[in-house]
Structure 1
């Protein structure tokens, strides 16, 4: 059975064209990334060279102002080689998009040396920010900041101490914060999602923006669709895309290593193996179709309140389908797949960790969708 990293002859964006080479490199470095619990400098450089950091950067600062469809395609390809590297690529693009919500002077500061600045982030408002005459004093600790050891800047969320508290984002340059080695996860070990701590870091006004601006949609002076969509319409996509890649990678490994053991005398697969293949590949295809719809709606700016909640539902459901498919493949592979270093068990661990992200929790997504659906009918 012929299986390999998926390819496409259709013209695409810069990251789509580079994704296949990045996927090959990702596959080669996956074991070392697991062992080191972080990506190597060479792996991060490959992500940047492929154009992931600049994908959503405004053209004014030499960025690509790319599409969500291109990001989904490229990330899922990289994920077939290494979910951790795909996760890094996806979040690198996503955080650059969020940085475009800074005031113009702040954007100029972050991309002063070019559009490939590596920005990491923490979206939960776990810090505190105190107003000063000319800026903010920011303190806090944010766990699970992926690729933080390689960051040029970090975009963190903190609650202000004003009379009426507000959640705001603050851009912190490398050197103004410390990282603590806290990432010991079962899956996606290579993401290096360690903790970031800032202590009384002064942040100028032009390096901060209100979180509600990002949630609502349009950035200041936004022209490209990628800078106009509300966060909840696309946030799940950047976490679900690596899970889709992991599922595709698991299917490729199973087809190459397990399926040949179940070839019948007629040349086909045994009924049980054929069922595993058909159901798992079907679920993976369904997950891809759901995510493609999310990306297409965002790229076309079809982002009504109902579409936004539907997109959240679709991302969560796609992650569940990816997990279901990989669980079935893993169970059918036998004890050989359980050995240290076996690629299938790595994909199995990775897809569970990726799908476990809070943004991909299905129950809250379902409740939001149902509430909006019935509100629209009321």
Structure 2
């Protein structure tokens, strides 16, 4: 899907991820969301938490404004994270709200992923029943999930970065195909860009970086599906997703800078793929610094610092 449209792939990935989150709601909340159809689409604005929540009998009064709710225009439900304004340590909770109750403000104007509709949502004071709320920490940790399948019980960061990278892999593949088609086409004087040694070198470097990133992500996905879930495993997957995103951005940027002026046209396919990959790579979940910190910490905690 990412090869055809990274924005569509981005929304599909997030709808899948948010359904995993919603599976951690109390049973009554799950019945509300999926009682009529198993295909309910769920948008979310969880990080950073915004708005406010106040305890009332049987539920919470939720209100506020949340940014970057990707795919909300085609969603049936929205997961929103807000702090408990009455709690002594202001714990954060996630709330499921029908899409019909929120107002969507058109604020998404990024360079890439322009069709994701990652807009701002606003909610006036609304009572959300307890059955549609869960502590955000439990949702992200996948804790307290006895009996649930692994895909629902896993911590969010085990596969979150891999899912974010998937649209970028597809867009990078397509960028490589578009650039290669251009480089193989003869221009003035019957000369092909691919006849130049510098162009062949750039092609080789970008192709191998894209393939290596995909291989690394596939390996990390296999670990997420099969290996014992530990802090070290989660940290290694975060590390690999961040590095893969950097490789994909580097590879596509190299192709974009090497292409001819017409190939870099703002309305062209390569420009769209380039801007999409770089926008994905800039997502906070794919930042290398916190991923590297978590990986180093897992080695110390795991007793592997005596190598």
Of 205, 208, 220 in structure 1, the residue corresponding to residue 130 of structure 2 is 205
CA contact (8 A) 1:128 1:158 kept: yes
CA distance in 2, matches of 1:261, 1:331: 19
2:154 maps to 1:229? yes
Of 79, 101, 106 in structure 1, the residue corresponding to residue 29 of structure 2 is 106
Q: From the CA coordinates, give the structure whose radius of gyration is larger.
A: 2
SS in structure 1 of the partner of residue 111 of structure 2: coil
SS in structure 2 of the partner of residue 182 of structure 1: coil
2:259 maps to 1:259? no
- In structure 2, the residue matched to 1:293 is 219
- In structure 1, the residue matched to 2:284 is 358
- In structure 1, the residue matched to 2:253 is 327
CA distance in 1, matches of 2:107, 2:157: 28
- In structure 1, the residue matched to 2:10 is 87
- Unmatched tracts of structure 2, length 5 or more: none
Q: CA deviation at 1:259?
A: 3.2
- In structure 2, the residue matched to 1:244 is 169
- In structure 1, the residue matched to 2:231 is 305
Moved more, 226-235 or 320-329: 226-235
- Unmatched tracts of structure 1, length 5 or more: 1-77
CA distance in 1, matches of 2:50, 2:65: 7
Q: CA deviation at 1:194?
A: 0.5
CA distance in 1, matches of 2:81, 2:37: 24
Q: What is the number of equivalent residue pairs in this alignment?
A: 301
- With the length of structure 2 as denominator, give the TM-score of the two structures: 0.93
Of 268, 280, 288 in structure 1, the residue corresponding to residue 206 of structure 2 is 280
CA contact (8 A) 1:100 1:219 kept: no
2:94 maps to 1:181? no
SS in structure 1 of the partner of residue 204 of structure 2: helix
Deviation string 1:163-221 (CA, Å, 9 cap, x unpaired) is: 23211110000222111010111111111110011121110001011112122224634
Q: CA deviation at 1:128?
A: 1.2
Of 44, 49, 55 in structure 2, the residue corresponding to residue 121 of structure 1 is 44
CA distance in 2, matches of 1:306, 1:82: 34
Distance 1:218 1:300, change over 3 A: farther
CA contact (8 A) 1:103 1:220 kept: no
Q: CA deviation at 1:269?
A: 4.4
2:63 maps to 1:143? no
Q: CA deviation at 1:277?
A: 1.4
CA distance in 2, matches of 1:277, 1:219: 48
Moved more, 312-321 or 284-293: 284-293
CA contact (8 A) 1:225 1:301 kept: no
Measured on the aligned residues, the alpha-carbon RMSD in Å equals 2.1
- In structure 1, the residue matched to 2:78 is 154
- With the length of structure 1 as denominator, give the TM-score of the two structures: 0.76
SS in structure 1 of the partner of residue 248 of structure 2: helix
CA contact (8 A) 2:7 2:113 kept: yes
CA contact (8 A) 2:11 2:116 kept: yes
CA contact (8 A) 2:18 2:43 kept: yes
